[in-house]
A and B are shown apart, each in its own frame.
Chain A
Amino acid sequence: MLEIEIDGKKLTVPTGSTVMDAANSIGVHIPHFCYHKKLSIAANCRMCLVQVEKAPKPLPACATPVTDGMKVYTHSDMAVKAQKGVMEFLLINHPLDCPICDQGGECQLQDLAVGYGQSGSRYEEEKRVVANKNLGPLISTDMTRCIHCSRCVRFTEEIAGYQELGMPGRGEHTEVMSFIGKTVNSEISGNVIDLCPVGALTSKPFRYSARTWELSRRKSVGAHDGLGANLVVQVKNNQVMRVLPLENEAINECWLSDRDRFSYEALNSAARLTQPMVKDGGQWKVVGWQEALELVATKLKGITASHGADSVAAIASPNSTLEELYLLRKSLAGLDIRNLEARTRLGDVRFETKAAGWLGQSIVDLAASESLLLIGSTLRKEQPLLAQRLRQSVKKGLKLALINPHDDELLCAVAGKLVVRPDQLVEGVLAVLKAAADITGKAVPADIDLAGVEVSTEARALAELIVAGEKKSLVLGNIALQHERAAELHAAAAALAEIAGATLGLLRDGANSVGADIVGFATNKDLITANKKAYVLLHSELADLKQGAKAAFEGAEFVVAMTSFADEARDYADVLLPVSPFSETSGTFVNMEGKPQSFNGVVRPLGETRPAWKVLRVLGNILGLNGFDYDSSEAVRGDVLNGDIAKVLDNTPAKAVAVKAQATAGLVRLAEVPLYETDALVRRAPSLQATVDAESAAQLRANAATLASFGLVAGGNACVQQGGASVTLAVAEDAGLPDQVVRVPFGRATLALGSGAIEVIKA
């Protein structure tokens, strides 16, 4: 510990602290631009110059280490003169266009200029003009306003992991730019907008749509992945205008993924459903809520009476709130309907956890692991901010290892990896398991057959990594959980975790996947291929489901879609009920670490839209059920989460599953859900859909040898046939894939495709 005196206040700070750290700890504000607590120290803006006793010159607080007995003056004549001098330099070439600048009102330069600037300028020479840059559909540029603090450059390099922005040029000609002809394509790129202290980088979708002081700031929770990022949703005239991060060090830190930041565009989409509608003689008719719900009640009662309760199924998006899911379950239970599923992309009906499947520990604890084996995950696309957090952990010593059917760049050092065909993922885990059993001398459960499993050098290295050390984690990602042998992967991973003494975690895809498990939205049946007589859909759409869903819905007697959008379900539903997206309802998401996060609606429901929990409460009443007198979503929540949440979380496989290595050969498909195909909102956010990532959702990718074996060329087209259907996709090369693997994502472009054998021909 070191003693320091700042502006006469004495304090002690840990060794290694900077003057800025020390000042922050006692609430002394030192003006700054380039300094940011999450980024490396650049000391280039010089705004934080302070006077230090015995130093002949003012020193930058952000980069000056505290020495014992140091005396610092942040507002002395020397300090203020230096700060004002720097402010003058920053302003001479900065355009005074605040009235037309989107940053106006939330600009650090503007704010500090009030305190440290002059009312007039002594600079009468020509001002600098800098050409704007095309950074893609999300970030708008006004580069003349740039003050060269390099925060954005450091962000892409240090936080996003790949330096997509740089500062070429020298002196006055220094400019922030991307690589020539490239845009900024990081999945967390939008954070540079928050980091930019001036109006050089602003939000493209938000551009010129509102002034910051017109917006009210309301808290919410990210609705697109299992992280549960905390949001500040900014609202004007009952419309969501913009989404920003709400700092929560334990979850999203001060960052936000682009998915959480820009998906709000869909909330204001023209495709929103605003009135209840029923199909009458093949024609859609607008009806009142009462009429619509009475029809639903009558139909469901009728079908259960004539075909039995098992003939009805409810399929909900894992981004539905805990309250919505609970009341859906409770109202259907009144009709004895038990077919409930929110794991919409589950590939293996045998997969079952003892209680709700979760990360197995907190996000912070996971990031503090000594070693982490990630199985079957495209982590940067599945959970962008978790990938970011682990990237920082790797820099601090985390050994991150992978078993994956691809070799996607995680943009951090990887301690070991095993790249296998997607249909050999189980065998990959078994190889590591066998090696780990060899090393530790521990036994493997009897239902896991290790005969015929070959241990490669890579598998052995992964086993050595995961059995060593103290704090170890083993995590199954989306590719694993959506795998057609997910139950076997689960069993093998659980056995490996047991032998290695590691914590087993599941990376759940939805914002409320864990909550859906807690409510009980998990069956061990394939509700789509079972062709039920009636389906109740909650926020889920065809692109969330497997092939055959459309046929199943069209073939059903009755489909009720509780949705926010009118553009899709009208093709197959009989009743459309406009229910609120997350922004228009109160509710709770339980994130991947089992943390329930409740939020309020940030805007009033659009048109006749109503929060689904209220709709279901009325449905319960119309069905004549008891216990539907809730007057708040908190009361609903209280019925679900009424004890220690840890007791309803357990990743242990519920039943033993026989696991055995299988030989596979031939062409195989790697199907994942692309970054911007995850849910109904994301799919309708135009700016996200204009990104490079969205483009790749309609691509077939394979390595050069595989492409050549089918006569395909990158840039050309291919016709893909699977499950009796075919689609034509653009072809791209992906050198990281094993031979005879085609990466055909799961999304709208490939919705027609089924499972099983796949064929590819040149188109």
Chain B
Amino acid sequence: MTVYVKGVVFEGVDFDDPKHWGIEAYMARGGYTALKKILSTGMTQDEIIAEMKTSGLRGRGGAGFPTGLKWSFMPRSFPGQKYLVCNTDEGEPGTFKDLDIIVDNPHALIEGMIIGGFAMGITVGYNYIHGEVFEAYERFEAALEEARAAGFLGDNILGTSFCFQLHGHHGYGAYICGEETALLESLEGKKGQPRFKPPFPASFGLYGKPTTINNTETFASVPYIIREGGQKFLELGKPNNGGTKLFSVSGHVNRPGNYEIPLGTPFSELLEMCGGMRDGKKLKAVIPGGSSAPVLPADIMMQCTMDYDSISKAGSMLGSGAVIVMDETTCMVKALERLSYFYFEESCGQCTPCREGTGWLYRVVHRIEQGLGRPEDLDLLLSVGGNIAGRTICALGDAAVMPVQGMLKHFRSEFEHHIEHKQCLVPGF
């Protein structure tokens, strides 16, 4: 379910129209005018990148890196093939926004990628789509066919010398393939495991060629920025947190779903949009940015606005915008056990701290949940976590540790209760 409140990705989408995703509906709401504007007015690559920088758009995949800056890293004069890659390998627990984009508004993504290709002098793009979504993948392929038929993709787009080929690629469902260099490995047909950086993809990416990788939502925001101007996009949000953002709200709310709202909206307002807490229960905690973001207790969360800076100041991350809401009936030990199991299961196994450490973390948390915990286990968890964080090839190690640290920071007493009483503090668990 997608709820459009205010924003750019789903602007004007009539979800009740069965063909709302199609190219006709997209063009009727102003789609592809940004591309036409570029190609007809002779807007330069520098001007496009400047506009992107003005917009303050930050990468929507989770890291929040300024998109305009990333685009400026691409060596535009590099002779030879360069690649543009969209990361739709949305696998972070709690996140389901990119899925809705390729289902409900795929042409916004396609147009954004074409513009990106033009801005960086790239002629080939790939969209790597998560392996466990099938209809969404087919929808994207159908949209690609429409774009090709309409002359927006392929050779000599709209009669100009600009050429851009875009291909969908269906992954196999590994979380790690959402890590951009693991994604590139997988796209090359190899086992998806992250590469050591440097070199970064901007110099050594897909097939060793310069490559720019952005998230689906990032690309889908581009047409609006070009059409309406970066300044207007920026003003939708707040300084350093330009634009609007999709939040995937899940958990104990009345209306879970994707909410596109301006960055800087108070969390309390978002919670209201979701119909408030389910069954009138009390809010206990929120994971504000996907499963790897540290959990925040209700009192802190209710003071936050939904933007990069506010959440970061509160000690967590906005990440991909996956808001996992937990009410008072939630056992935090059980919650952490489930999260830790995920990272244990999804570790690629390439480097030592993550391969060995994630299993260790999970087993200890599991033991505590089973009533077999020992008092020293909590310090052990933090110590083992400290030996994983910052020692691995990619960020999965950090991602596995942050939930542990967050839970023990805010809910340590619940863990201690589990250990001491061999049962849960929360009734019903």
A contacts, CB < 8 Å to B: 41-47, 49, 56-58, 60, 63, 65, 82, 85-86, 88-90, 92-93, 122-123, 125-126, 147-148, 166-174
Chain B: CB-nearest residue to A49? B391
Q: What are the residues of chain A within 8 A of B357 when measuring CB–CB?
A: 89
Contact A86 B353 (CB under 8 A): yes
Q: Bits for B163-180, please: 1 = Cβ < 8 Å to A, else 0.
A: 000000000001010000
| CB contact under 8 A between A45 and B351, given known A58-B391, A90-B356, A170-B174 | yes
Q: Bits for B376-392, please: 1 = Cβ < 8 Å to A, else 0.
A: 00001001001100111
Contact B391 A85 (CB under 8 A): yes
Chain B: CB-nearest residue to A168? B191
Q: How far is the CB of A82 from chain B (nearest CB, A)?
A: 6
Contact B391 A170 (CB under 8 A): no
Instruction: Give the complex CA separation of A65 and B200 in angstroms.
Output: 13
Q: What are the residues of chain A within 8 A of B346 when measuring CB–CB?
A: 170-171
20 contacts between A and B (CB under 8 A): A43-B196, A44-B352, A45-B351, A46-B352, A46-B353, A46-B391, A58-B391, A86-B387, A88-B387, A89-B352, A89-B357, A122-B380, A167-B349, A168-B191, A170-B174, A171-B344, A171-B345, A171-B347, A172-B356, A174-B349
Chain A: CB-nearest residue to B376? A122
Q: What are the residues of chain B within 8 A of A60 when measuring CB–CB?
A: 196
| Additional A-B contact list (20), CB under 8 Å, known A89-B360, A148-B352, A172-B356 | A43-B196, A43-B393, A45-B351, A46-B353, A46-B392, A49-B391, A58-B390, A60-B196, A63-B196, A82-B387, A82-B391, A86-B353, A89-B357, A90-B352, A148-B355, A167-B349, A170-B174, A171-B344, A172-B349, A174-B348
Instruction: Give the complex CA separation of A63 and B194 in angstroms.
Output: 14
Instruction: Give the complex CA separation of A122 and B377 in angstroms.
Output: 10
Residue from the list A89, A126, A166 in contact with B353, Cβ < 8 A: A89
Q: What are the residues of chain A within 8 A of B380 when measuring CB–CB?
A: 122
Decide yes or no whether B358 CB sits under 8 A from chain A. yes
Q: Bits for B46-67, please: 1 = Cβ < 8 Å to A, else 0.
A: 0000000000000000000000
Task: Please indicate which of the listed interface residues A56, A58, A89, A90 has the most CB atoms of chain B within 10 Å of its own CB.
Answer: A89
Instruction: Give the complex CA separation of A125 and B358 in angstroms.
Output: 13
Decide yes or no whether B251 CB sits under 8 A from chain A. no
Decide yes or no whether B297 CB sits under 8 A from chain A. no
Q: What are the residues of chain A within 8 A of B255 when measuring CB–CB?
A: none
Chain A: CB-nearest residue to B397? A46
Decide yes or no whether B227 CB sits under 8 A from chain A. no
Instruction: Give the complex CA separation of A47 and B351 in angstroms.
Output: 10
Q: What are the residues of chain A within 8 A of B355 when measuring CB–CB?
A: 89, 148, 171-172, 174
Q: How far is the CB of B401 from chain A (nearest CB, A)?
A: 12
Q: What are the residues of chain A within 8 A of B174 when measuring CB–CB?
A: 170
Q: How far is the CB of B359 from chain A (nearest CB, A)?
A: 5
Chain B: CB-nearest residue to A58? B391
Assign chain B's interface to a size class.
20 to 34
Q: What are the residues of chain B within 8 A of A88 when measuring CB–CB?
A: 387
In chain B between 315 and 357, which residues have their CB closer than 8 angstroms to a CB of chain A? 344-353, 355-357
Contact A89 B344 (CB under 8 A): no
Q: What are the residues of chain A within 8 A of B391 when measuring CB–CB?
A: 46, 49, 57-58, 82, 85-86
Q: What are the residues of chain B within 8 A of A41 when measuring CB–CB?
A: 196
Chain B: CB-nearest residue to A60? B196
Task: Please indicate which of the listed interface residues A85, A93, A122, A173 has the most CB atoms of chain B within 10 Å of its own CB.
Answer: A85
| CB contact under 8 A between A172 and B344, given known A46-B352, A82-B391 | yes
Instruction: Give the complex CA separation of A82 and B389 in angstroms.
Output: 10
Q: Bits for B95-135, please: 1 = Cβ < 8 Å to A, else 0.
A: 00000000000000000000000000000000000000000
Decide yes or no whether B202 CB sits under 8 A from chain A. no
Decide yes or no whether B143 CB sits under 8 A from chain A. no
Q: How far is the CB of A417 from chain B (nearest CB, A)?
A: 26
Instruction: Give the complex CA separation of A377 and B252 in angstroms.
Output: 72
Instruction: Give the complex CA separation of A586 and B352 in angstroms.
Output: 48
Contact A172 B350 (CB under 8 A): no
Instruction: Give the complex CA separation of A63 and B383 in angstroms.
Output: 26
Q: What are the residues of chain B within 8 A of A45 when measuring CB–CB?
A: 351-352
Q: How far is the CB of A429 from chain B (nearest CB, A)?
A: 38
Chain A: CB-nearest residue to B386? A85
Q: What are the residues of chain A within 8 A of B407 when measuring CB–CB?
A: none
Decide yes or no whether B18 CB sits under 8 A from chain A. no
Residue from the list A47, A92, A167 in contact with B356, Cβ < 8 A: A92
Decide yes or no whether B364 CB sits under 8 A from chain A. yes
Contact A123 B349 (CB under 8 A): no
Q: How far is the CB of B200 from chain A (nearest CB, A)?
A: 12
Instruction: Give the complex CA separation of A166 and B349 in angstroms.
Output: 13
Contact A46 B347 (CB under 8 A): no
Contact A123 B360 (CB under 8 A): yes
Q: What are the residues of chain A within 8 A of B345 when measuring CB–CB?
A: 170-171
Q: What are the residues of chain A within 8 A of B20 when measuring CB–CB?
A: none
Contact A85 B349 (CB under 8 A): no
Contact B352 A147 (CB under 8 A): yes
Decide yes or no whether B198 CB sits under 8 A from chain A. yes
Contact B360 A57 (CB under 8 A): no
Instruction: Give the complex CA separation of A170 and B387 in angstroms.
Output: 21
Contact B356 A89 (CB under 8 A): yes
Instruction: Give the complex CA separation of A169 and B351 in angstroms.
Output: 13
Residue from the list A58, A63, A92 in contact with B360, Cβ < 8 A: A92
Chain B: CB-nearest residue to A93? B356
Contact B359 A172 (CB under 8 A): yes
Q: What are the residues of chain A within 8 A of B347 when measuring CB–CB?
A: 170-172
Q: Which 3 A-B pairs have the closest CB atoms?
A: A85-B387, A174-B349, A89-B356
Q: What are the residues of chain B within 8 A of A43 when measuring CB–CB?
A: 196, 351, 393
Chain B: CB-nearest residue to A82? B391
Q: What are the residues of chain A within 8 A of B367 when measuring CB–CB?
A: 125
Q: How far is the CB of A67 from chain B (nearest CB, A)?
A: 10
| CB contact under 8 A between A44 and B353, given known A58-B391, A85-B387, A171-B358 | no
| CB contact under 8 A between A89 and B387, given known A170-B346, A171-B347 | yes
Task: Please indicate which of the listed interface residues A126, A147, A166, A171 has the most CB atoms of chain B within 10 Å of its own CB.
Answer: A171
Residue from the list B176, B351, B358, B363 in contact with A44, Cβ < 8 A: B351
Instruction: Give the complex CA separation of A726 and B93 in angstroms.
Output: 70
Q: What are the residues of chain B within 8 A of A168 when measuring CB–CB?
A: 191
Chain A: CB-nearest residue to B198? A65
Q: What are the residues of chain A within 8 A of B390 when measuring CB–CB?
A: 56-58
Chain B: CB-nearest residue to A126? B363
Contact B356 A125 (CB under 8 A): no
| CB contact under 8 A between A86 and B344, given known A58-B391, A172-B359 | no
Q: What are the residues of chain A within 8 A of B358 when measuring CB–CB?
A: 171-172
Chain A: CB-nearest residue to B367? A125
Q: How far is the CB of B20 from chain A (nearest CB, A)?
A: 38
